[in-house]
Amino acid sequence: MDSLRRLKFDFKNQINELNNITIKKKFEDCIYVGSGDSYVAGLIAEYLSDHKCRCYSPSDLIRSRFLHDRTYYFVSVTGKTRANIEIAKRATKAGVRTIAVTLNTNSELAQVCNEVIPLEITMRDNATSYSTFTANVVTCLELAGILVPRKFELWQKNGIKLSSDFRSVKLPKRVLHILGNEILYPIALYTSLKMTEFFGITTIANKLEEFCHSPIFGIKPSHNLWVLGQNENAKGQRLGKLDYNFDYFELKNSDILSLLFESIFFMQSFMLVLCEKYKHNELQYILMKNVLKISSDIIYNDTA
């Protein structure tokens, strides 16, 4: 079975496991540390906690002092990310509370932290996984004391419906800029990671206004621009006047958690819609063997 067929299965079957997640420990004054999808999950928790919780990449903390009144959650599905492990070692040695949030409870990350909170989801035989990201989001939110209603089936249904409304959107050929404000910025960041993994497209996420401060001057006619908005069509139309390849996605919902999870499921479904439309059967990054080897060496093995 190719990677995309496995991913389709993963997308549909994540709902039951998400409904069964139970998080008992809650430390509201917390700091999330993670990379890639795990960083995005922590960033979502930061936004929804009104920044009471904070989220950092391991590289942000290389020379930082640790705050002893905070709990540090080191988020990593594999528990093998070298930078996370090294920062967790330093934090534990410094005497702060450290907790590994991971699928691999026997990993080195789990061993160097004071405690372990396992991701309550099955690791499928996938090179990438939708379900582990969504489970990470739920876990990070509930660790921060934000209760997530078990409406995943409804939210996924709405996300799928929304993705079908955008079947006419064309797959970018060169560079894609994705813009979103507030909670839609982490969604834009998540989408940028998936677009690069799925299609090998250079994809850059920005906050909408920050984009207009400088990056807008680097846009070229061959670039694509996607705006994820909440009643921001007027701003979108102004950007559309640039006469470049432009698409506006209205994702507004008055309930913030519905907005969040419907947007996640929408983007997960939309990636599959584009794959079907353009007959992609494999994630492009898997096919880039040399690049993948270098990436993995740096992420998992580099101690410099």
Q: Which tens digits make up the pLDDT trace of 98-149? A: 999 999 999 999 999 999 999 988 876 555 689 999 999 999 999 999 999 9
Q: What is the amino acid identity at position 230?
A: Q
Q: Are residues 141 and 13 in the same domain?
A: yes
**Whole-angstrom distance, CA of residue 240 vs CA of residue 43:** 29
260 contacts 281 by C-beta, under 8 angstroms: no
Identify the domain containing residue 137 by its residue range: 3-150
Q: Confirm whether 272 is domain-assigned.
A: yes
Q: What are the E-state strand segments in the chain? A: 30-33, 54-56, 71-75, 97-102, 115-118, 175-180, 202-206, 224-229, 245-250
Q: Confirm whether 303 is domain-assigned.
A: no
Q: Are residues 106 and 172 in the same domain?
A: no
Q: Are residues 199 and 126 in the same domain?
A: no
The domain total for the chain is 2
Which of these three, 84, 119, 150, is where a domain ends?
A: 150
**Tokens 């540390």 map to which residue?**
33
pLDDT of residue 54: 96
Q: Are residues 105 and 163 in the same domain?
A: no
Q: Are residues 131 and 184 in the same domain?
A: no
pLDDT of residue 46: 96
pLDDT of residue 242: 79
Q: Confirm whether 297 is domain-assigned.
A: no
**Can you give the CATH number for the domain in which 173 is found?**
3.40.50.10490
**Whole-angstrom distance, CA of residue 273 vs CA of residue 195:** 12
Q: Are residues 81 and 135 in the same domain?
A: yes
Q: Are residues 100 and 140 in the same domain?
A: yes
Q: Are residues 222 and 269 in the same domain?
A: yes
pTM for the complete prediction?
A: 0.93
**Whole-angstrom distance, CA of residue 98 vs CA of residue 194:** 29
Mean pLDDT for each consecutive 10-residue tract of the chain (304 residues)? Answer: 79 92 79 96 96 95 93 94 95 96 94 94 71 95 94 97 94 94 97 95 95 93 93 79 86 95 98 93 87 89 61
Q: Confirm whether 289 is domain-assigned.
A: no
Q: Are residues 130 and 160 in the same domain?
A: no
Q: Confirm whether 294 is domain-assigned.
A: no
Q: Confirm whether 299 is domain-assigned.
A: no
Q: Are residues 246 and 138 in the same domain?
A: no
Q: Are residues 13 and 110 in the same domain?
A: yes
Which of these three, 150, 180, 201, is where a domain ends?
A: 150
pLDDT of residue 117: 94
Which of these three, 119, 150, 181, is where a domain ends?
A: 150
* Alpha-carbon separation of residue 293 from 60, 82, 189 (angstroms): 24, 15, 24
